[in-house]
Chain A
Amino acid sequence: MVEFVLIFLAPVFGGLLHGLQRVLSARMQNRQGPPLLQPFYDMYKLIDKRAFIIHPMHIVWALLHFISLWVVVGLLILGQNLLYVIFIHLLASIFLILAGFSVRSVYSHLGANRELLAMLAYEPIYILMATGFYILNGTYDVGLIRQEDTQILSMFFLFLAFLITMPLKLKRSPFDACEAHQEIVGGVEIEYSGIYFEFLYMAKWLEYVFVYLLLLLFGGNSIVLGSILFVGVFLLINLVDNSTARVNMAQTLKIIMWLGLSLSLINILGLSYV
């Protein structure tokens, strides 16, 4: 029962996370920043606005992206098969990419293409991470993994690889070329307005929830370690975001593919030898 309440509230948590991040980021830059609930104020404003559309298909893809991401988060909260969840997440990302491709807009296409390349970078690492959990816990079942003792030391390199992909998924610097505001004006987002943009915006919140839920898996059954991981990584991501410049897509791919993949590979190899 608790799970279903959590699933229902998942976008709210995501919104809060997003707001918290904006506050934190502002404080790091010595600014006052927006209030914590700013994302929800934005939501209120966006719903009220007149929504322009390009064609219905375009809107449908965005809706599906939002719905499927919610499903992904739901499956993760319910403790389903990790590998399956990762593949459903792939489906959700594909919906976003199709949304970008379905209009004849330069920026939308650029964004979608970059989104596609980003997938090449993070997807293998996610799958290797899942196999890492499988080797250690003997199951892909998220519910069971959460009940086991933490294995973060045995899969430390995988954890590092996962950390590297986080800015890419959260669209934070240095790996935020996918939607790079000043450069390609938001990528896929650009062609949406009003309430339809809100769905895409909320999908982003859900993405936050998804990534942080994956992070919590490294904490195993320990709530303390989980919270430490959460707080530490949250601070770290923002610190890195504020202190690094954006790298372009080719560099992003190179860094994540080489560094992240070799780290995960070493870890997996190590696990299978021991």
Chain B
Amino acid sequence: MQIVNILADLNISYTFSHSTHLVICLLDLVLLFYFAWQGFKHKQNRVTFLAFTQIVLYGAFLYLSPRFQGVDLLSDELSKIMYFVINIVGGSIVLYALTYINSEPFEKAKKFSFIAILIFFLGVMNLIVTANNIELFFFLFELTTLCSYLLIRYREDDVAIENALRALWMNQVGGVAILLALITSVVYYNTIYFDQLLEVLDPHFLLPVVFLVIAAYVKGASFPFHNWLLGAMVAPTPVSAILHSATMVKIAPFIVLKLSPSFSPLLSTTIAMFGAFVFVGASLMALNRDFFKEILGLSTIALLSLMISLAALGSEQAREAALILLVFHAISKALLFLQAGILEKIYHLKNISEIDTLTNRAPRTLFFILIGFASLTLPPFGAFVSKFLAIEALTKSMLKTPVEVFVLLSLIIGSVLLVILYFKIITKLLSTRAFTQASKEKLPLLYKISSNILFTALVLGVFLLNFLSTLEVLIPLVLIFLIPVLLKRMDFKDAPRVKEYNCGEKGVFEVGMFNYTLNKKYLKSMIYLSVVFMAWHLVVGVL
């Protein structure tokens, strides 16, 4: 992507001194003991158990590992793109949070700590995409777990604490997986550095890579770990926004993108198939949800799996598709979550079934929601470009591995399902009564600024991708921007107005939405299947 050229001169390559290493080790242990203590305090045996497992594994790793020579921090093209996502998208969310948190009933110090944790989180994310040392990566991974734990439990009611603890233990599974990756990597390959590991990797023993991928699944809230991300909805909305777009979940496709050059054909097909499966599964699950943020959450899970799936395919085009989806998904989701927060704070709407007459009250918010959804599905936005590339890449790779036709099929069906999901929500948003007038919407300044930054990034970003010709980009953009223009130009002052036709019936029409509920049986078997898939990953790792 062209955007990287701006940071062409930024080349980080840094090695920590021995004492810094020691400090990191120490901090790591403190962190793990903190988790154990939290588990103990809230009587959550899973948390405690996983924390102690990690302590033991970490001890084993420290015992095993002699001193290694390598670079601790290393930036490459991938991490440069991540800097953009983390800082621009994350930054605008922090801007938004400044106003948002003021409307919460907390003490001043607690409000400040909220903003502080958000910014710390962004800092950790910047480091994690630069980390080359897997041990450092583990430490930062645990730090993101800590941040998410603190943010989810921010409201400190029962539900918040319960969900935070669930997020904690699930993410610790990821921590265990990374430690196992570290240990296998030390034992078999005698290195703890990503760059060295990728060079010496033997395609018949990919366990370190597989463990890292499993850690990615945990962060990306793939099945069967999807519940932690859905539970995170109890936190203030900026938290969801930041978890879903710029931070945390984006570690998942990031790791897979980083590791995918080393995948054996079988492993890459496995991951691609699993991602495709979760993509369709999560989209199906979202079709019967009512809570706006939950719908967005499930669509995040779906799209993340798609990114993972594409990243795993390994061809240059598929990687590119995954990257574009990663960037633009972050922008779109942040924009949508910010609007969800506005709906919640200003219009007191949480569920889509309650939404009504929004066109008249909140035209600006509605416009951003529409653009948010459109940017995840329609040309010329990034998500479309990504799918476009992905279809082309899959058509090529299918010729080598015909099984991947199912990835293509899932990509297509899942995308259409998401279109249906998004436009089902728009059903509720758009319907306007006859004989009503729109009023101007008043919003706090920072809400407007943050949304506008993201919106601008969305539109400008389209021009930075040079996969479509200018004409191909301009046609749909013009069509979309014709909406406000036509609305302004054509006021229909002279046209006589009528009420809606109702076949002469008097009843009031309540707008409904169609609903598709997946059978519980299927849901369960989907989760079981995903566990089987996980086990299969391990088998593939040693084949």
How far is B433's CA from A107's CA once the two chains are assembled, in angstroms? 14
- Nearest Cβ distance between residue B438 and chain A, in whole angstroms? 9
B254-269 CB contacts (< 8 Å) to partner A: none
By beta carbon, the residue of chain B nearest A55 is B432
Q: Does B475 lie at the interface of the complex (its beta carbon under 8 Å from any beta carbon of A)?
A: yes
Known A119-B419, A124-B409, A191-B501; judge A131-B475 contact (CB<8 A): no
How far is B411's CA from A123's CA once the two chains are assembled, in angstroms? 12
By beta carbon, the residue of chain A nearest B419 is A119
Q: Does B453 lie at the interface of the complex (its beta carbon under 8 Å from any beta carbon of A)?
A: no
Known A64-B479, A87-B378, A116-B423; judge A106-B502 contact (CB<8 A): yes
A191:B398 contact, CB within 8 angstroms? no
A53-103 CB contacts (< 8 Å) to partner B: 53-60, 63-64, 67-68, 71, 75, 80-81, 83-84, 87-88, 90-91, 94, 97-98, 101-103
Contacts of B395 in A (CB 8 A): 131, 134-135
B359:A124 contact, CB within 8 angstroms? no
Contacts of B45 in A (CB 8 A): none
B464-486 CB contacts (< 8 Å) to partner A: 468, 472, 475-476, 479, 482-483, 486
A83:B391 contact, CB within 8 angstroms? yes
How far is B498's CA from A200's CA once the two chains are assembled, in angstroms? 19
B434:A57 contact, CB within 8 angstroms? no
Q: Does B503 lie at the interface of the complex (its beta carbon under 8 Å from any beta carbon of A)?
A: yes
Q: Does B170 lie at the interface of the complex (its beta carbon under 8 Å from any beta carbon of A)?
A: no
By beta carbon, the residue of chain A nearest B513 is A113
Known A127-B412, A269-B405; judge A190-B498 contact (CB<8 A): no
B420:A116 contact, CB within 8 angstroms? yes
Contacts of B476 in A (CB 8 A): 88, 91
- Nearest Cβ distance between residue A86 and chain B, in whole angstroms? 10
- Nearest Cβ distance between residue A95 and chain B, in whole angstroms? 8
Contacts of A54 in B (CB 8 A): 434, 497-500
B413:A87 contact, CB within 8 angstroms? no
A104:B416 contact, CB within 8 angstroms? no
Q: Does A144 lie at the interface of the complex (its beta carbon under 8 Å from any beta carbon of B)?
A: no
- Nearest Cβ distance between residue A63 and chain B, in whole angstroms? 6
By beta carbon, the residue of chain A nearest B359 is A57
Contacts of A84 in B (CB 8 A): 379, 388, 468, 472
- Nearest Cβ distance between residue A7 and chain B, in whole angstroms? 13
How far is B394's CA from A56's CA once the two chains are assembled, in angstroms? 43
B434:A60 contact, CB within 8 angstroms? no
- Nearest Cβ distance between residue B332 and chain A, in whole angstroms? 16
Contacts of B491 in A (CB 8 A): 56
How far is B394's CA from A130's CA once the two chains are assembled, in angstroms? 13
Q: Does B63 lie at the interface of the complex (its beta carbon under 8 Å from any beta carbon of A)?
A: no
- A231-265 to B contact mask, C-beta < 8 Å, 1/0: 00000000000000000000000000000010001
Contacts of B198 in A (CB 8 A): none
- B480-515 to A contact mask, C-beta < 8 Å, 1/0: 001100110011100111111111000001011010
Q: Does A161 lie at the interface of the complex (its beta carbon under 8 Å from any beta carbon of B)?
A: no
B501:A53 contact, CB within 8 angstroms? no
Contacts of B509 in A (CB 8 A): 104-106, 109
Q: Does B161 lie at the interface of the complex (its beta carbon under 8 Å from any beta carbon of A)?
A: no
Which of A53, A60, A63, A104 sits near B431, CB closer than 8 Å? A104
By beta carbon, the residue of chain A nearest B485 is A60
B490:A105 contact, CB within 8 angstroms? no
Q: How many A-B contacts if CB must be within 8 Å?
A: 170
Contacts of B402 in A (CB 8 A): 269, 272-273
How far is B501's CA from A120's CA once the two chains are assembled, in angstroms? 28
Contacts of A51 in B (CB 8 A): 495-496
Interface size on A, residues (CB 8 A): 61
Which of A56, A83, A91, A268 sits near B378, CB closer than 8 Å? A91
B398:A101 contact, CB within 8 angstroms? no
- Nearest Cβ distance between residue B435 and chain A, in whole angstroms? 8
How far is B384's CA from A90's CA once the two chains are assembled, in angstroms? 11
- Nearest Cβ distance between residue A136 and chain B, in whole angstroms? 11
Q: Does A50 lie at the interface of the complex (its beta carbon under 8 Å from any beta carbon of B)?
A: yes
Q: Does B426 lie at the interface of the complex (its beta carbon under 8 Å from any beta carbon of A)?
A: yes
A55:B388 contact, CB within 8 angstroms? no
Which of B379, B392, B426, B501 sits near A87, CB closer than 8 Å? B379
A127:B391 contact, CB within 8 angstroms? yes
How far is B357's CA from A104's CA once the two chains are assembled, in angstroms? 10
Q: Does A156 lie at the interface of the complex (its beta carbon under 8 Å from any beta carbon of B)?
A: no
Which of A80, A104, A117, A131 sits near B434, CB closer than 8 Å? A104
Q: Does B13 lie at the interface of the complex (its beta carbon under 8 Å from any beta carbon of A)?
A: no
- Nearest Cβ distance between residue A252 and chain B, in whole angstroms? 14
How far is B408's CA from A50's CA once the two chains are assembled, in angstroms? 49
A59:B492 contact, CB within 8 angstroms? yes
Q: Does A8 lie at the interface of the complex (its beta carbon under 8 Å from any beta carbon of B)?
A: no
Contacts of B71 in A (CB 8 A): none
Q: Does A52 lie at the interface of the complex (its beta carbon under 8 Å from any beta carbon of B)?
A: yes
How far is B379's CA from A84's CA once the two chains are assembled, in angstroms? 8
Contacts of A206 in B (CB 8 A): none
Q: Does A160 lie at the interface of the complex (its beta carbon under 8 Å from any beta carbon of B)?
A: no
Known A88-B475, A265-B409; judge A64-B419 contact (CB<8 A): no
Contacts of B412 in A (CB 8 A): 123-124, 127-128
Q: Does B24 lie at the interface of the complex (its beta carbon under 8 Å from any beta carbon of A)?
A: no
Q: Does A185 lie at the interface of the complex (its beta carbon under 8 Å from any beta carbon of B)?
A: yes
Q: Does A112 lie at the interface of the complex (its beta carbon under 8 Å from any beta carbon of B)?
A: yes
How far is B398's CA from A83's CA once the two chains are assembled, in angstroms? 17
- Nearest Cβ distance between residue B462 and chain A, in whole angstroms? 14
How far is B46's CA from A171's CA once the two chains are assembled, in angstroms? 57
- Nearest Cβ distance between residue B81 and chain A, in whole angstroms? 24
Known: A84-B468, A191-B500. 12 other contacts (CB 8 A): A51-B495, A53-B492, A55-B434, A59-B492, A103-B500, A105-B509, A109-B509, A130-B391, A131-B394, A140-B392, A272-B402, A273-B402
Sample 8 A-B pairs with CB under 8 A, ordered by A number: A50-B496, A52-B497, A53-B496, A54-B497, A83-B392, A103-B500, A105-B500, A268-B398
Which 10 residue pairs of A and B lie closest in terms of their CB atoms, listed nearest first? A105-B500, A52-B498, A124-B412, A102-B430, A272-B398, A60-B486, A53-B495, A101-B427, A101-B430, A54-B434
Which residues from chain A sit less than 8 Å from chain B, CB to CB?
50-60, 63-64, 67-68, 71, 75, 80-81, 83-84, 87-88, 90-91, 94, 97-98, 101-109, 112-113, 116-117, 119-120, 123-124, 127-128, 130-131, 134-135, 140, 185, 190-191, 261, 265, 268-269, 272-273
